[in-house]
Amino acid sequence: MNVGFIGLGAMGAAMAANLLKAGHTVTVWNRSPEPAAALAAQGALVAERPADAAQGEAVLSMLANDQAVRAVILDGGVLEAMPSGAVHVNHATISVALAKELVAVHAQHGVGYVAAPVFGRPDVAAAGTLNILAAGEAASIEQVRALLEAMGRRVWSLGEAPERANVAKIAGNFMLAAAIESMAEASALTRAHGIEAADFLEVMTSTLFAAPAYQGYARLIAERRFKPAGFTLPLGYKDVSLALAAGEAARVPLPFAGVLRDSLLEALATGDPDRDWSALSQVAARRANLPDD
């Protein structure tokens, strides 16, 4: 397929590279030129403007937040440039309110719309083994299924309302944040009683919590390895805030999400924002008057 890819951060660049490997013709755009140049060396075409990447059968975007989606997709002429019947696949983790707005705007332009946020860090994206949550009209999903399958281990269909995929992604990231916070606090407790975090977390992730998410983040906490970040503290703060907003809109109390938001805010206030969100363990250590470096 002839497709565009907009947004080449660590995730987007890896995803676009897998589309190239699968034999698709990919035109890329990114605000900073270096990631686009790296993909050009792999065979990608480089667009000067976002709209120039949106003239094929589909355009995929992986942008940071609501503000970036508005600036690039809604205000950057992307939808106006897309041919009638083309499909926009939005991989960004965005608010439910914006997700609903995008459905209406795409319909006005005669463009298909699929929300397809992903679970997986940059190494998973590079391996092409993301889990992709897809919601939108069935015909639109089928139109881009080959693209999604080139980037992911499995495509999880969540119905025809695109915002459902965004809600599921937000809820999943809330659960990840809760797992990190629980390991951070529990390992601070064991350290205060003389048990190293690495020893305690090895026991837990080999027995009660022998799951990839726990094992991966436990290693980062035990090794105090927070850079380079697979998922930064500001992104974690954003997603937990999105969960709280979605809960408020539907009158669903999320009391622990408030705790997580405050912990993430404390992490942002007291250290490098470019750290991985597993740096929540440093917050727990400081609260217990333990060394955090």
**pLDDT digits over 7-35, tens only?**
999 999 999 999 999 999 999 999 999 99
**pLDDT digits over 85-102, tens only?**
999 999 999 999 999 999
Q: Determine the topology of domain 167-287 in CATH.
A: N-(1-d-carboxylethyl)-l-norvaline Dehydrogenase; domain 2 (1.10.1040)
pTM of the model: 0.94
In the chain, % of residues over pLDDT 90: 99
Q: How far apart are CA 17 and CA 35, in angstroms?
A: 11
Tell me phi and psi for residue 48, to 5 degrees: -80, -30
Tell me phi and psi for residue 25, to 5 degrees: -90, 120
- State mean pLDDT over 37-57: 97
Catalytic residues: 169
**Is 90 exceeded by the pLDDT of residue 65?**
yes
**Please, what CATH class does the domain formed by 2-161 belong to?**
alpha beta
**pLDDT digits over 272-291, tens only?**
999 999 999 999 999 999 98
Confidence of residue 293 (pLDDT cuts 50, 70, 90): low
- State mean pLDDT over 233-239: 97
Average pLDDT, the chain: 97
Domain ranges of the chain: 2-161, 167-287
